[in-house]
A and B are shown apart, each in its own frame.
Chain A
């Protein structure tokens, strides 16, 4: 199974900050990586797939990059509505797996 390691697990930040979340895969997955945002009590929302393609309706302050085993999700200027937990997911092979999550919280 492909393991995904996200870092950091917690990310204290302020409105306007540039934040970067990293996701490392235990083996190469080309660009078959998705990013989701989840707010408390809600279902996740797809932000990016494949690794660098923003989904329709997602603000342009979000961007994804990477291929192979190392990927990043960047928020260029954090907004109040961006405080949430972010998960990466590999779709290269079954079983599909998620990273452990990164909680972006108010500093």
Chain B
């Protein structure tokens, strides 16, 4: 079955770090545009970051310098390393495949709070 499954979310204090994972099954992340999108509680969708090609990446201004997207093709897994977390990073984080996003995971919840 073709699917994406996120993990790694949780509660973290401001200034802390988390690494999110997105495991792909039924296809290889290496040949795809792979993206992270987040949604704060009760709010709309916010594009966070994309990785494609060899290792081309782009980031939203709100996370640039703090978040790093990467992938392990051998494990067919996408990652998002999140450092210097802020309360405004609290959200459900989704990984998605393609552009546009034709396959989404179920999301993982990140809560940044003291």
Interface assignment of B60: CB less than 8 Å from any CB of chain A: yes
Which residue from chain B places its CB closest to the CB of A100 in the assembled complex?
B44
How many chain A residues touch B (Cβ–Cβ < 8 Å)? 21
Given contacts A43-B107, A95-B58, A95-B60, contact A87 B102 (CB under 8 A): no
From A49, A94, A95, A101, B45 is in contact (CB under 8 Å) with: A101
Contact with B along A34-55 (1 / 0, CB 8 A): 1010100001111001000001
**Which chain B residues (17-63) contact chain A, with CB distance < 8 Å?**
35, 44-47, 50, 58-61
Interface assignment of A29: CB less than 8 Å from any CB of chain B: no
B32 → A minimal CB distance (Å): 15
| Additional A-B contacts beyond A43-B105, A99-B44 (20; CB < 8 A) | A34-B100, A34-B101, A36-B45, A43-B94, A43-B107, A44-B94, A44-B101, A46-B100, A46-B102, A49-B100, A89-B45, A94-B50, A95-B47, A95-B58, A95-B60, A95-B61, A96-B47, A97-B47, A100-B44, A101-B45
